[in-house]
Structure 1
């Protein structure tokens, strides 16, 4: 369905952020999520394959019985900090709301897993059960839903790696409750998509990985990706400070991409900001030397 026909759709009755572990709740599509998706540069058409797979799976889940095709609607995004996993997840949520039509207005809910964890015996399990069994269940009944579980290892920790300390029984039960909740959502609500991110893939319980329809390792950008990120960031700065346009010179961008090997997207963008903090403290007077020095410093940290 075209964006123009979906833009006016608003999902009412969303939970208030700050309650029941909810970090964010909004209707989709969302312009800020769309902008974030556009700012992410992944090699090999990874973003496009991710979108195509998720959209296809949603259509399959709507028509093929779960017993024949056990798709859980779970996508797991792993990778180092700073590569853009959360931005990819939010952008994917926006894209799905634009691409997969005919289901009604979409909603997005982001979970703060740390708010569900508790040092009080039994509370983690109850919090997880309330989240999946009540809040998400109610939202799924109202229409299509995307759930983001950032730092998913916090609530779906690998149980085999746990020591018998710090309320281990409660942790085990909380993981069990989350898995049961995911299974229930998958069977009852084929228009629910769960996006999970983690910096520590080895810390995730294998039972979650086995439920994931797609596991994607978001990589550190290659040379072309670094160049695209730098160009995007510098162009945004130059829109406000025209003097920075000199950094958009092809030779400058090419060299900057070469000397920034190993930097993730977040650090690349911060390096542009650091370059602007030159001896003049003036982004209008930033030079290529400032940029190269900032990238070098960032790489050494």
Structure 2
């Protein structure tokens, strides 16, 4: 696997489709995201960039744990389903593998990834590239300090921007889907190149209920008594206690509830609504203490 490419998927891939279905956000947002990605492959190759300056870049932003990466992977599957007959692939970039403390090496690694590995893939057919934690590659240059070799980081961001422009001109069948937990850390020149910036918010109460129900139902496959918790009169209180947590935190909260005491840990069938409520409230308290931004 070329340096910087963490994983390569042939599309469509049903496992990625399951990820798309598992992320509970407003269906209008999902439809908008899918439509924007489709436009990249249906309109962009046929319309001059002087008319519509599409760069083939979508940016998903929001708090950690809201499913941005899963949504991006699922998006690739859904696009390939819609564009039947196109032999598409998804490349996942590992940005941290490109950084180096040696002067100039990060810049060269970024340039080689985009100009060689990604360009070669796009030359062979429609390609979607997932750029997770894009602030690692396109850091806001206006906020750089004098620490940690900022000159090389500055040049790496320059390399990303130059390559995005070149690839946009040469490969209209290429789409980047980037994610960021900290959009304020992403360089403004990168965001200006994005065709769509979409915020993926924390789940609302209805979504929290769906996530919690799905988690408990999955657990009940192995431990059947857990299924009854969703019918408990106080289940709604558990849902309300989850509001303000992200989807990942809700699922981890259930794991914490299973560890409420040794008896429950030994016999998960004894999990109670009280365990869930305590775990949810504790998770909220910790979120407040660590000042995780909602």
TM-score of the two chains, using structure 1 as the length reference? 0.89
1:295 equivalent in structure 2: 280
Deviates more, 1:279-288 or 1:146-155: 279-288
The equivalent position to 1:280 in structure 2, one of 264, 279, 282, is 264
Q: Secondary structure at the match of 2:43?
A: helix
1:264 equivalent in structure 2: 246
2:206 equivalent in structure 1: 224
Distance 1:25 1:194 in 2: 14
* Structure 1 segments unaligned to the other structure (5+ residues): 1-15
* Structure 2 segments unaligned to the other structure (5+ residues): 287-294
1:285/1:165 Cα in 2 relative to 1: closer, same or farther (>3 Å)?
A: closer
The equivalent position to 1:181 in structure 2, one of 160, 163, 169, is 163
1:165/1:258 Cα in 2 relative to 1: closer, same or farther (>3 Å)?
A: closer
The superposition leaves residues 12-32 of structure 1 with CA deviations (integer Å, 9 ceiling, x where unpaired) of: xxxx2xx41111112112222
Shift of 1:259: 1.5
TM-score of the two chains, using structure 2 as the length reference? 0.91
Q: Secondary structure at the match of 2:255?
A: helix
1:72 equivalent in structure 2: 55
Q: Secondary structure at the match of 1:62?
A: coil
The superposition leaves residues 170-200 of structure 1 with CA deviations (integer Å, 9 ceiling, x where unpaired) of: 2222111111111122111112110111111
2:97 equivalent in structure 1: 115
2:292 equivalent in structure 1: none
Contact 1:43 1:222 in 2 (8 A): no
1:128 equivalent in structure 2: 110
Residue 66 of structure 2 is aligned to residue 83 of structure 1: yes
Q: What aligned pairs does 1:238-249 form with structure 2 within 5 A after superposition?
A: 238-249=220-231
Report the aligned-residue RMSD.
Answer: 1.6
Contact 1:43 1:225 in 2 (8 A): no
Contact 1:110 1:148 in 2 (8 A): yes
Question: Aligned pairs, how many?
Answer: 283
Deviates more, 1:255-264 or 1:141-150: 255-264
Shift of 1:232: 1.3
